[in-house]
Structures are given as C-alpha cells and as structure tokens.
Amino acid sequence: MTLLYQFALFLHIIGGFGLMAAITVETIGLRGLRQATQRTDALVWLGLSRSIVMRLTPSSLGLILVSGLYMVATVWGPRGWILVALGSLLLLGVIGAFGTGRRMARIGLAIGRAQGPLPAELREMLGSPILLMSLRVRLAIVLGVVFLMTLKPSAVASLAVIVLAVALGFLAGQIPARRGRNELRADVG
Ligand code: HEM
C-alpha cells in the first residue's frame, strides 16, 4: 500500500465525516425552520442550510468519489461492493435533489416573499413528510455504504444491504419528528 493510497483513504474517510456532518446540520436546520414562526427566524435557519449544507454536501461527495475511484483504479478493480456503493452515491444525489433540493428551493423563495409571521401555506410546505423521509433514507444509505466499505461483501449481499437500508430509512421516515415548542404551544393555546 503506497503512501498516496493511504492518503487517498484518509481523504475518503474525511469525505465520509463531511457527509455525516452535512446530514446532521440539515437535520438541525430543518427542525429550526419547522419551529420558526417569523420570517427573520426562518432566514437564520435557511442561511445555515445554504451556507453549510449546500457547500459541504457536494464537496464531501466529490472527495469520496475522487478518492474512492483512485483506490479502485490502483488496487481494487471493479468489485460488487464498489459498484453498489457507486450506485448508492448516485441514489443519494437523486434523493437529495428531488426529495429535498427542489422543495427547499421553493421554500427559500416563499420565505423571501414572506413578511413578519410565516403564512400557513409556507408552514405546510415546511411540514412536508417528504423532507424528513429524504433525510432519514439518505442517512440509512450512508450507514449502509459504510457497512459495505468495512465488510466488502459480494455484489448480491451488498445490494441486499442497501435495499434493507432504504427500507429501514423509509420506515424511520414514517415516524413523525418530535414536535417543536411552537407547535405544542399552538395546540395548548
Ligand atoms: C457514502 C459514500 C461512502 C462512504 C461514507 C465511504 C466510507 C468509507 C470508509 C469509512 C472506508 C474505510 C473502511 C476500511 O478501511 O475498513 C472506505 C473504504 C473504501 N472505499 Fe468508501 N465510502 C463511500 C463510497 C465509496 C465509493 C463510491 C467508492 C468507489 C468509487 C469507494 C471506495 C472505497 C474503497 C476502494 C475502500 C477500501 C479502502 C481499503 O480498505 O483500503 N467508497 N470507504
């Protein structure tokens, strides 16, 4: 194992940390946005998402891909777990773009137009179960891929792991998020 390979593995793992950090910040940002009642609060959470998640996610995925492809080209060649990991990376991008990206773009525009208290229609958009589902399925896929990376199973077993991860993420997405203080207050009042 050359020093360059070891460095590529180091960068690859840093990319994995980056991806987990981005998912964590996205989760916190979504929770904050759902609790916001005023435009100014919503803008703070939206800014967090835009400044961190939208930069960290693509850069981490890029780092994982470039370093991963280097390790594949120099040592591993095309193995089952690698091909499934590549497909999973694509799936992460698709779910992120269609499940979250497009919705968040619309939400961003609506927050920009809002004045003072957030309108009910916007709060409804923020409460969309798809946003939480997208997050949980992506988190499950990332954990599934880390499982593949460490155990390096056959193609069929790797595919089964990712299908199971997607199913578990989907099931977890059905569990409603803990309700925010504002939602609870609204019920009481
Ligand atoms: C969500 C995406 C990914 C994450 C979080 C991830 C994470 C990791 C981690 C933590 C390891 C270290 C495992 C160990 O040393 O036992 C690893 C190894 C590896 N990854 Fe990934 N990976 C991802 C995607 C990919 C992709 C798409 C490829 C191929 C293009 C790839 C290629 C490799 C290779 C070849 C190794 C083996 C390194 C070795 O054992 O020497 N990874 N990955």
**pLDDT, tens digit, for every residue of 50-85?**
899 999 999 999 999 999 999 999 999 999 999 999
Tell me which residue has tokens 């919503």: 42
Give the Cα separation of 89 and 66 in Å (integer).
Answer: 12
At 26, list the tokens.
Answer: 């996205």
Atom 38 in ligand 1: residue holding the nearest Cα: 9
What pTM did the predictor assign?
0.91
| CB distance 84 to 158 below 8 Å | yes
If one residue of 57, 64, 94, 139 were mutated to test the ligand 1 pocket, choosing by the most ligand atoms within 8 A of its CB, it would be 64
Distance 120 CA to ligand 1 centre (A): 44
Mean pLDDT of the chain: 92
Distance 64 CA to ligand 1 centre (A): 8
Q: Is 144 a pocket residue for ligand 1 (Cβ < 6 Å)?
A: no
For the segment 29-35, the average pLDDT, to the nearest whole number, is: 94
Burial class (CB in 10 A: 0-12, 13-18, 19+), 22: buried
